[in-house]
Structure 1
């Protein structure tokens, strides 16, 4: 496949579409916890809304491939966009805690289906020589879209239903680039098959790392706006906090990823966990009176926990035979979603008794335990030679790595 104008247009349409989706998602990631925390809803509801997203994502992982094989990419994409719109419309009806939790679960189903569909399309539209750059652009645009959505939340009233209506607007806009572009139909993604023994044999560090990153990412990204709203931080400042957190990912992941290409990735994972611990301690010490410093701390916090995900994925690919990439991706996707459901659920249960800082302590505990596990594994297995390692690619734990589910089949075409 050449880097033809039609191919570039296809990739641009996918990236533009998912950036629009990300803007709506970024707005709702700030809006829902802020409003629920300030409402008369029970204390467990904001955390349950976070857990619901991950649980819905787990369901989306399991049914996404089947739906695509049955109706095709275009129809499945339209269905997933419809679910996002329905979830936003349910939230626009007013603050009904149980309905909002269910709506966030519905969004989680749609979100992971979106990622499986669009990453499959992106793999099919990209040439092997620049597929990695196209995927990095996709991840980066999505993360920037999340930040833009959070920033936009700070510019509108939290009262009323303007935020979900704007989310519906951006989701509807997201349908147009793909609907108006002659995208080639890619092969259906591979079946989501779970092979934990194979992944464990290939890399215990990577498997446990993805489990850890599921909990770490959902804790920091999901509970930070709840924590800020509970401490009477203004809507504008909550939006700014969420905005800066996304850019922390950009400025931390690239240098840590580049370092992991030059040295043992396990050492970089330990350093990243220590950075998470340091940021967590700072988050406990710095008060909301010094909001700018706290934003910087949480930007580092978010960037460090997201980096665990990307380096663990790279480490898994280094140690796995290319023929096993599809079951590897499937198992890692399910493992991430399961941990992203269970860890926030536990924190939601403990928060009423232990306080709003429970998620910070939980994040630090997960990072410390994982660092100790990696340190233990350093003694038992040699580093993969640099010439056999894949180049590090930008990834976000907020964008599940479904790309490899389609990559093997796309190459076989």
Structure 2
């Protein structure tokens, strides 16, 4: 294992530092916005702008990396990303915050692109599975730690924003000082949404659904928890519970999906998500903290694992040469949903209250479950090239691209 990790240790270290800082910032922004009495629709819009910037970064990032190289691109994007938290602290203005969140989304799309393409090039068919498992552990552990660091100081103060900036800056050091050779230039990829939809309607729409439902959770979940009576510590535990739910459920769900038509698992996860969302609404009404945490954990188990199964289902129908193009299309579908979801959910909260965040998500999951049932009844399974499931990080930041899929040949 040491021989597997050693060539990419600096990359994993940079990933960990970045995710701790970005995980902290992602929860800190809505809490501070709530303290500053931003309207819920404003908070939702700010979250949508983050994902719009992220989508732009996914499209434009390869051009930047091809022009400047991996290390210089990483340094430039990291420096810009480190500026944003400081601007949030210095200028409490919704327009400035939206611009900075868009900048953060753009930068982090490029940063993750550099790290993941680099890790993949250092991996071989013999080590990719183990390396990917380590990468997942780093992701989950770092996101969890970022949530818990919210308790280190008051969100109303400068301290936590400065800490986010410091962590982002520190992540530049392992990459800048690495002795590992840079990977080959990123190849351009043609994105054909229509072709992927014809290949797997359930898989593509599933990724859109994940964007529509999970992005409001990442953007407005802290506001929901705080409005439900939790203090800052309780909010951090609520977000941590959801992340742990997603982490714990990934591999068991993947193993089951390898043994049957993945659409059955997608259907189960969609319906389970709707039940968990109803549980969150009920727990809010009852006002018991442990019920909120339990419902949050169950939401993580179902909703935060749906993306991985949708990606696996889509790739079941594709040849290895199509993995990169398919991933780009699925990522774009997710990003479109993530841009629309937070703002759409926040608009409903003005009339129906904070519970609408999960009413909105439950309605979408139920509609998607109905669509999946129709497809199961009218379309054949058609998975003759079925491959093994590979767990993926749920897209709080971005889904892991198929360059890290253990089924892909070097």
TM-score w.r.t. length of structure 1: 0.93
Identify which range, 186-195 or 252-261, moves more after superposition. Answer: 186-195
- One of 394, 397, 400 as aligned partner of 2:395: 397
Equivalent residue number for residue 181 of structure 1: 178
SS in 1 for 2:357: helix
RMSD over aligned Cα atoms: 2.1
Cα-to-partner distance string for 1:71-118 (whole Å, 9 max, x where unaligned): 111111112211210111211214222211211111111111112111
The answer (yes or no) to whether the contact 1:329–1:404 under 8 Å persists in 2 is yes
Which aligned segments of 4 or more residues in structure 1 are displaced greater than 4 angstroms? 384-387, 405-408
Count of paired positions: 408
Q: Are 2:118 and 1:118 equivalent residues in the alignment? A: no
SS in 2 for 1:154: helix
- One of 5, 18, 30 as aligned partner of 1:33: 30
1:387–1:198 Cα change, 3 Å: closer
Cα-to-partner distance string for 1:186-240 (whole Å, 9 max, x where unaligned): 1222324210122122211111111111112112222110112233421111111
Equivalent residue number for residue 242 of structure 2: 245
CA shift, 1:58, in A, is 0.7
The answer (yes or no) to whether the contact 2:53–2:104 under 8 Å persists in 1 is yes
Q: Are 2:191 and 1:194 equivalent residues in the alignment? A: yes
1:364–1:292 Cα change, 3 Å: same
The answer (yes or no) to whether the contact 2:316–2:385 under 8 Å persists in 1 is no
1:402–1:281 Cα change, 3 Å: closer
Equivalent residue number for residue 138 of structure 2: 141
The answer (yes or no) to whether the contact 2:5–2:131 under 8 Å persists in 1 is no
Equivalent residue number for residue 293 of structure 1: 291
The answer (yes or no) to whether the contact 1:116–1:402 under 8 Å persists in 2 is no
Equivalent residue number for residue 361 of structure 1: 359
SS in 2 for 1:37: helix
CA shift, 1:305, in A, is 1.2
Gaps of 5+ in 1: none
Equivalent residue number for residue 277 of structure 2: 280
Cα-to-partner distance string for 1:243-300 (whole Å, 9 max, x where unaligned): 2221111122221111101111100111111111111111111136310221111121
Cα-to-partner distance string for 1:142-200 (whole Å, 9 max, x where unaligned): 22211111101023222211111111121122112222221221122232421012212
Equivalent residue number for residue 163 of structure 2: 166
Equivalent residue number for residue 380 of structure 1: 378
SS in 2 for 1:262: coil
CA shift, 1:346, in A, is 1.5
1:94–1:232 Cα change, 3 Å: farther
- One of 208, 212, 215 as aligned partner of 2:212: 215
Q: Hey, what's the Cα distance between the residues in 2 that align with 1:93 and 1:232?
A: 28
